[in-house]
Amino acid sequence: MIIDVKNIVCRFDEIAAVDNVSLAVDKGEVVCIIGPSGSGKSTLLRCLNALEDIQEGEIIIDGFRIDSRHKEIHQIRLEVGMVFQNFNLFPHLTVLKNVNLAQRVVRKRKRDEATRISNELLNKVGLTDKINAFPGQLSGGQKQRVAIARALAMNPKIMLFDEVTSALDPEMIGEVLEVMKQLAKEGMTMLVVTHEIGFAREVANRIILIDEGKIVEEGTPEQVLDNPQNQRTREFLGKVL
């Protein structure tokens, strides 16, 4: 078990965005989290990276307890790569430097080594010809693939994807999902918040449906998508499918 979330509560001004959620993920598992907007799926993901504080419960990742006030939180975050809906590439750096930077200052890799790794990863996401471009010169799909390469460059044990295709034009969604499928095949542990039900069905080992901060349904894609037990799951799927 690489992720162990026990009864966490994350509140914003007394409103619980994540309300008593427990979740265990094994190494190599791909878990897709679906649910209506505002249901708390992104917040849950952000808690795993200590981008949001939890008020109750605990999160243990690879044996370490996650706590944003903890001094070693930077070390623990290294093990968890995150890709955001809005890419959050560094606009003042080229693609290569975006991928290199954290390797250099955090992993303390030499320039040559970092560049070699970056080139490898950028090749893998199909952006070899863009290494010297700035983020402003890329399409949304290309930006998101750079963001994935940037996160992978830190050799994370877990990858978190927070609605990574939601800000993309429809014709660019495929290229990003393709990279994610490849990652899943290679055995990366992945937590994916997504609205792409088709992707979830194809790639996920497990699907979780969250509504109003609570897990309302959990199971294999067949169980959740084809034979939902909960009324709210049926309503949600009725809208999106």
Partner 1 sequence: MNWLVEQLGILSKIFYFLIQVVHWTIIISVLAYLIALICGLFFGVARITSNRFIRWLAGAYINVLRGVPLLVLIFFFYFGLGKIINLDRLVAGVLAVGVCYGAYMAEIFRSGIEAIDYGQHEAAMSLGMTRWQTLRHIILPQSFRIVVPPAANEFIACLKDSSLVSIIGLRELTRAGREYANQYFLDFQTWLMVGLIYLILTLSLTRLVKVLEKKFAVHGYGVEKK
Q: Which stretch binds partner 1 (CB under 8 A): 75-83, 187-195, 197-205, 232-240?
A: 75-83
**Chosen residue from 60, 154, 167, 237 binding partner 1 by CB under 8 A:** 154
* Per CB under 8 A, 60 contacts partner 1: no
* Per CB under 8 A, 240 contacts partner 1: no
The CA distance from 111 to 241, in Å, is: 47
* Per CB under 8 A, 111 contacts partner 1: no
Phi, psi of 118 (to 5 degrees): -60, -45
Strand partners, 192: 32, 161
| Binding-site string for partner 1 from residue 18 to residue 57, where x marks contact by CB under 8 A and - marks none | -------------------------------x-x------
3-state percent breakdown (helix, strand, coil) of the chain, nearest 5: 40, 25, 35
The CA distance from 6 to 109, in Å, is: 35
Q: Which stretch binds partner 1 (CB under 8 A): 144-152, 167-175, 191-199, 230-238?
A: 144-152
* Per CB under 8 A, 86 contacts partner 1: yes
Cβ atoms of 200 and 32 closer than 8 Å: yes
Cβ atoms of 44 and 15 closer than 8 Å: no
The CA distance from 45 to 116, in Å, is: 30
* Count of residues interacting with partner 1 (CB under 8 A): 31
Of residues 150 and 206, the one with the C-beta less far from partner 1:
150
If residue 161 lies in a helix (H) or strand (E), which one and from where to where?
Answer: strand 158-162
- Contact footprint for partner 1 (CB under 8 A): 49, 51, 74-75, 77-78, 80-82, 84, 86, 88-93, 101-102, 105-106, 132-137, 147, 150-151, 154
